Amino acid sequence: MFTGVGQRYNSLIQLVLTLLALLFVFPLAVMVSVSLRGEGFGNYLAVLRHPMIPRFFLNSVIVTACTIVLVYCITILAAYAFSKLPLRGKTVLFSALLVGLLLPAVAVMVPLFFTIRSLGLMNNYLALILPYTAFALPFTTLLARNFFDGLPNELLDAARIDGCNSFTALLRVVLPLSRPISVVVVLWTFLSAWNEYFLVLLFMQDDQMKTLTHAPQFFVGVYSQDTGKVFATLVLISLPIMVLYLLLQRYFESGMTSGALK
Amino acid sequence: MKHTKIRRLRWPVLLFTILVVSSLLLSACTGAVAPATTGGSAAGSAAAGEPVKITWWSWNGGPPVAGAQLGDPPQLVVEFNKTHPDIQLDWKFYQYNDYLNALKLAVASGEGPDLFGLQAGALVNEYNEFTEDLNPYANKDLGANWQDQYYALGFGGVTIGDKLPGMPIFNSAAGQLWYNKTILDKYNLQPPATLDEWVSVCKTLADNGETCFVHGAKDAWVNFDMYIALANELAPGKIYEAEAGKVPWTDPDLVKAMDLWGEMFKNGIMQKGALGISQYPDANDIWDAGKAAMILFGMWNDSVMTKTALATMQKQLGLTETFEFLPILFPDVNGDGKPGQLFGGPDVVLSMSSTSKNKDAAWEFIKWAASKEGGQKIMADNVSIPAMKGLTLNDSDISTDAQKANLKQQLVDLENAAGKREFVYPELKTALGDALQNVASGTQTSQQALEAVEQVSQGIQR
Amino acid sequence: MQITSETANLVTPVAAPARPRWRGWTNYLYLVPIFLIVGGLIYYGIVYTFYVSVLDWNGMSATRTLVGLKHFLGIARDPIFWLTLRNTAIFGFLAIFIQMGVGLLMAVMMYAPVRFKALYKVIFFVPVVISPAVTAYVFRRIYNANDGELNLILQGIGLGGLQQSWLADPKIALFALTAINIWQWTGLSFLMYYAGLTLIEDSYYEAARMDGANFLQLLWHITVPLVRPTSFALLILGVIGALKTFDIVFLVTGGGPGRSTEFLSTYIYKKAIQEFNAGYASALSVVMLFVALLLTVIQLRAYRDQ
């Protein structure tokens, strides 16, 4: 969009971006300053040295990774069908799926609790993985479907002529082109699973099974809390997803369809 | 060719792929489930030689072990387990909001803890049917008139008819105005004894750039404390009658109390933006750091007078000086020359689950926690107010003599408490909470606000 | 190069294929996993909510009484309920459109040859991953009327007159919350638009610029239409997200002062958990479900019709 645009434009854009960045970074700076309160970096050391942290980290990783894999596979299948395959009642089904987005957490708390309990999944990773998947799917499917809508049907027609069935076409034609949306789906699912607090509270009563989001509890007392350490914990919790985000950044950078069309 | 063969096989391939992928996923994920760890609630009586396991959930387990990390079990648990090798008490801490959610589900599904903490008033009412009546146990083990050994206010909002759903272990009373003596001394000020003095002290402090009084008006409970204090000063006990429906909330005395409350937001007592912060942690942090001269708290705050607490605060907040904190009774509002009375009740009562499979073991803990040599001694040693009468508080860690004397006086004042602190009806609490905030922000007049409360009050089935 | 039929397909996303391909019931197999999981966990929850909404129940007790539509009638007459709708609507409208607008601009600007791109990308995205507990505490501090950073900065740059009690003033608190939400979620819009923009070829812009279009025209006539699928997804998520926004409201203002920032989600929570009124709370959830459904259907129709 900006090829051949003058230097004047560039400086203006740089300025705007810098101002926006300052605006966005400011609360983060406050957050870091609070996390250094009291003992400074000692807060971070104290958190990292806490015996339960590695276990919580492991639990978070397992739950989040499994959720991502499950969500990704199911999303691609469903979004592909909704976008590219002829289905009767497609709009109705899709709307029914979006209804899954609409339910407030408090409303689903009780029935979910009884479902998980009767399945015997208390203190089991699946007690978290399955609900996280269910909550993430409507949105990721919506995203993926819209993205697939943007892929020209000619590609699939070409694949069909080449003798592919719907599944092979998915694997050979659609998937390679869907890196940008795959990144979004992975990041979004990571986000919703990694930072989740409430279901862990309900289903993981065993301390060994809790996830990182419950780590700050160890620095909270009845009448006081070591706010510095609580914040240090929360800052540390947000680091993995930042790393993931940075790693996946480059999957955005490729002119995807240009090669296929020409 | 290869492609035509695939076309014929398409749906089996698809089905197969789905099945393989899902089973791989599930086995990978469930296979990573942790090895068996110690379970939650107990299951039946123990085999010979093995301790009976019971669980206790609460947001407040009493004094912590000295030097322990914040998340560790409190003294009550540690000491009990030491002295009762045949029982193992597992403690679980929840923050209050989380606790409400977790306890509700656990109890409703019949799988809750053996012991759980409840707040007097609404919480006890709602959970009543899930609690075991402790009177039969107490009458048997503690003697017929055992309640006489305990502060009467410890049972306020707890007993329901003849049933005792929970045992008071430690009490707390509110209505104390805490002040930072170090700051007041700097300006040669005395803590206010009347409402007018309060306003003038605040003015002096404001003129010198200090924050006079900090209050987390976002939290309904601390607004209740202030309002009850004001109402009890103007017309002792009337607010409780209004709660019981015997007196309308639009009674002139209650309206006047509301007026005084609203004025606090205009006459310089309340800090700017009070409605936007919480009492814990926001207001408390400001107070602990010496950035405000006064705060409304209760006897649960006594531990800030200990050297240990001050040292911890200094470390956590990075302070350069320590302060001398002291409470006084609520300033005289009605002009009768006497300061306000404390009001309070059991801080957290200890309840036994009616579906517990280890009731005897659970009762052992309750009995011990309420006993003079057991839990009550721990309370006294840690500057917590015991539920039992006649114990002396350990003041060896208290910083100054003035504070030591103050502590002794607090116990005397406790006997003269005006009434309880917790309301019974949740809808009333919500309505009153809204009313107090609306008057504070100027959205409603006192009359309008209390009329709304009265309307809710009349709809309650008593 | 002119806009051909191929690229026309991109501009008007097609829902149904131009020619039928791969017919057959096996296509439904693709949908089995998703409806299995979503159905088992979420639809059950919806049915259960409907059931509880006609009960007088505290959420735990064994005693439940059937009261029919009593709660729904109560809701219709409940001034707080209508207030929550109004609050949610104002909040949602402002938050969604500002986020989408700023997010799109950010994404577009990232395609320019500017420096520090990686740094900007991180900064814009970090707020998205910060937990609500942190965000709430930080902003309660920043918004503090006495010594909060916002008021201090305003004073420092000579705009002391603009200082407010950001969270304590019932007239402003809602907008203060909206600002927090915008800060937190714009990064997501940015991310998604950034992904969507990869599908737009430079050739479109080149062609239009050769025709003499300036930046704003490029933006409005080429970029915006071509990212419509993303905008649509963000709109749906935004509307539903606004209805379900809970953490920030609960932790920053608690719905107050008074009820000036009460949202439907916080109202439901308070009724269920603090007032032990599971029936009324479920009835509110049912209403919320219908409102959300209505809005979603409207949006889906609008999307299809174009």
| pLDDT attached to residue B326 | 93
Whether residue A217 and residue B71 make contact (CB cut-off 8 A), yes or no, is: yes
SS3 at position A45 = helix
Closest of A57, A91, A260 to residue A177, by C-alpha: A260
Whether residue B29 and residue A208 make contact (CB cut-off 8 A), yes or no, is: no
| pLDDT attached to residue A3 | 60
What is the tens place of the pLDDT at every residue in B136-187? 999 999 888 899 999 888 898 899 999 999 999 998 899 999 999 999 999 9
Q: Is residue C54 part of a domain?
A: no
Q: Is residue C47 part of a domain?
A: no
Positive/negative CA dihedral, C110, C115, C118, C120: negative
**Distance from chain centroid for Cα C279:** 27
Give the count of beta carbons closer than 10 Å to the beta carbon of residue B423: 21
- Kindly indicate the confidence band of residue B224, based on its pLDDT and cuts at 50, 70 and 90: very high
Q: What is the mean pLDDT of residues B268-272?
A: 92
Query: Would you call C32 an interface residue with chain B, using a CB distance cutoff of 8 Å?
Result: yes
Give the count of beta carbons closer than 10 Å to the beta carbon of residue B23: 10
Strand pairing category for C65-66 and B343-352:
unpaired
B92 to chain A, minimum CA–CA distance in Å? Answer: 9
In one-letter notation, the amino acid at residue B257 is: A
Whether residue C60 and residue B217 make contact (CB cut-off 8 A), yes or no, is: no
C277 to chain B, minimum CA–CA distance in Å? Answer: 9
User: Which structure tokens are listed for B42?
Assistant: 């107990």
| pLDDT attached to residue C2 | 37
Looking at the partner chain, which of A137, A149, A169 has a beta carbon nearest the beta carbon of C34? A137
List chain B residues with CB under 8 Å of A70. Answer: 25
Percent of chain C with pLDDT over 90: 34
Write the CATH number for C100: 1.10.3720.10
Query: Would you call C257 an interface residue with chain B, using a CB distance cutoff of 8 Å?
Result: yes
Q: Is residue C13 part of a domain?
A: no
| pLDDT attached to residue A251 | 67
- Look up tokens 């694949």; give the residue: A159
- The burial of A56, by beta-carbon neighbours within 10 Å (0-12 exposed, 13-18 middle, 19 or more buried), is given as buried
Q: What is the mean pLDDT of residues B109-127?
A: 90
Q: Is residue C102 part of a domain?
A: yes
| pLDDT attached to residue B153 | 86
Q: Give the list of residues 6+ apart from residue A5 with CB closer than 8 angstroms, or none.
A: C112, C215
SS3 at position A70 = helix
Q: What is the rounded CA–CA span in Å between residue C92 and residue A152?
A: 33
Give the count of beta carbons closer than 10 Å to the beta carbon of residue B269: 22
Whether residue C123 and residue A138 make contact (CB cut-off 8 A), yes or no, is: no
Whether residue C270 and residue B430 make contact (CB cut-off 8 A), yes or no, is: yes
Give me the domain span that covers residue C220: 79-304
What is the tens place of the pLDDT at every residue in C95-113? 999 999 999 999 988 888 8
Quote the radius of gyration of chain C (alpha carbons, Å). Answer: 24
Mean pLDDT for chain C? 84
Q: Using the predicted structure, report yes or no on whether residue B7 has a pLDDT greater than 60.
A: no
Q: Is residue C23 part of a domain?
A: no
| pLDDT attached to residue B117 | 94
User: Which structure tokens are listed for B434?
Assistant: 């809204």
C222 to chain A, minimum CA–CA distance in Å? Answer: 10
What is the tens place of the pLDDT at every residue in C128-172? 888 888 888 889 889 988 888 899 999 888 888 888 889 999 999
| pLDDT attached to residue B24 | 54
Q: Give the list of residues 6+ apart from residue C255 with CB closer than 8 angstroms, or none.
A: C249, C261, C262, C263, C266, C267, C270
Under an 8 Å CB criterion, which residues of B touch C? 10-11, 14-15, 18, 22, 100-101, 104, 107-108, 122, 126-127, 129-130, 211, 217-219, 271-278, 281-282, 291, 426-427, 429-430, 434, 437-438, 440-441, 443-444
- Kindly indicate the confidence band of residue C15, based on its pLDDT and cuts at 50, 70 and 90: very low
Q: Is residue C49 part of a domain?
A: no
Whether residue B430 and residue C276 make contact (CB cut-off 8 A), yes or no, is: no
Which contiguous run of DSSP H or E holds residue C203?
A: helix C202-210
Query: Would you call C209 an interface residue with chain B, using a CB distance cutoff of 8 Å?
Result: no
Chains touching chain A through at least 3 C-beta pairs below 8 angstroms are: B, C
Strand residue runs (E) in B26-157: 52-58, 87-93, 115-118
List chain A residues with CB under 8 Å of C233. Answer: 139, 142-143, 146
Whether residue A165 and residue B10 make contact (CB cut-off 8 A), yes or no, is: yes
Cα separation of the two ends of chain B: 83
Q: What is the rounded CA–CA span in Å between residue A176 and residue A171?
A: 8
Q: Give the list of residues 6+ apart from residue C62 with CB closer than 8 angstroms, or none.
A: B129
Which contiguous run of DSSP H or E holds residue B350?
A: strand B343-352
Quote the radius of gyration of chain B (alpha carbons, Å). Answer: 26
The torsion angles phi and psi of A146, rounded to 5 degrees, stand at -65, -40
CA dihedral angle for residue C84, residue C89, residue C90, residue C93, rounded to 10 degrees: 160
| pLDDT attached to residue B39 | 38
Q: Is residue C277 part of a domain?
A: yes
Q: Determine which of A134-148, B58-72, B310-324, B345-359 has the lowest per-residue pLDDT on average.
A: B58-72
- Look up tokens 């799917």; give the residue: A137
Q: What is the rounded CA–CA span in Å between residue B232 and residue B411?
A: 19
Please state the domain count of chain C. Answer: 1
Q: What is the rounded CA–CA span in Å between residue B285 and residue A50?
A: 24
Looking at the partner chain, which of A201, A206, A209 has a beta carbon nearest the beta carbon of B101? A201
In one-letter notation, the amino acid at residue A80 is: Y
B348 to chain A, minimum CA–CA distance in Å? Answer: 12
Q: Determine which of A143-157, A201-215, B284-298, C9-23 has the lowest per-residue pLDDT on average.
A: C9-23
List chain A residues with CB under 8 Å of B300. Answer: 223
Query: Would you call C169 an interface residue with chain B, using a CB distance cutoff of 8 Å?
Result: yes
In one-letter notation, the amino acid at residue A40 is: G
Closest of B422, B435, B455, B431 to residue B262, by C-alpha: B435
Q: Using the predicted structure, report yes or no on whether residue B9 has a pLDDT greater than 70.
A: no
| Helix axes of C278-305 and A105-118: crossing angle, nearest 10 degrees | 110
pLDDT in tens, chain A (262 residues): 666 566 777 888 899 999 999 999 999 999 998 889 888 888 899 889 888 899 999 999 999 999 999 999 999 999 999 988 888 888 888 888 887 777 777 778 888 888 888 888 888 999 999 999 998 998 899 888 888 887 888 888 888 888 888 888 888 888 888 888 888 889 889 988 998 888 898 898 888 899 998 888 888 877 777 888 888 988 888 888 888 887 877 665 543 333 333 2
Ramachandran bin of B116, using left for φ above 0, alpha for ψ from -120 to 50, beta for the remaining angles? beta
Partnered with residue B292 across adjacent β-strands are: B211
SS3 at position B388 = strand
List chain B residues with CB under 8 Å of C143. Answer: 273, 276
| pLDDT attached to residue B457 | 94
Q: Is residue C46 part of a domain?
A: no
Q: Using the predicted structure, report yes or no on whether residue B259 has a pLDDT greater than 80.
A: yes
CB B271 within 8 A of CB B211: yes
Whether residue A66 and residue B29 make contact (CB cut-off 8 A), yes or no, is: yes
Q: What is the rounded CA–CA span in Å between residue A60 and residue B290?
A: 39
C258 to chain B, minimum CA–CA distance in Å? Answer: 5
| pLDDT attached to residue C240 | 84
A65 to chain B, minimum CA–CA distance in Å? Answer: 9
Chains touching chain B through at least 3 C-beta pairs below 8 angstroms are: A, C
Positive/negative CA dihedral, C33, C38, C44, C50: negative
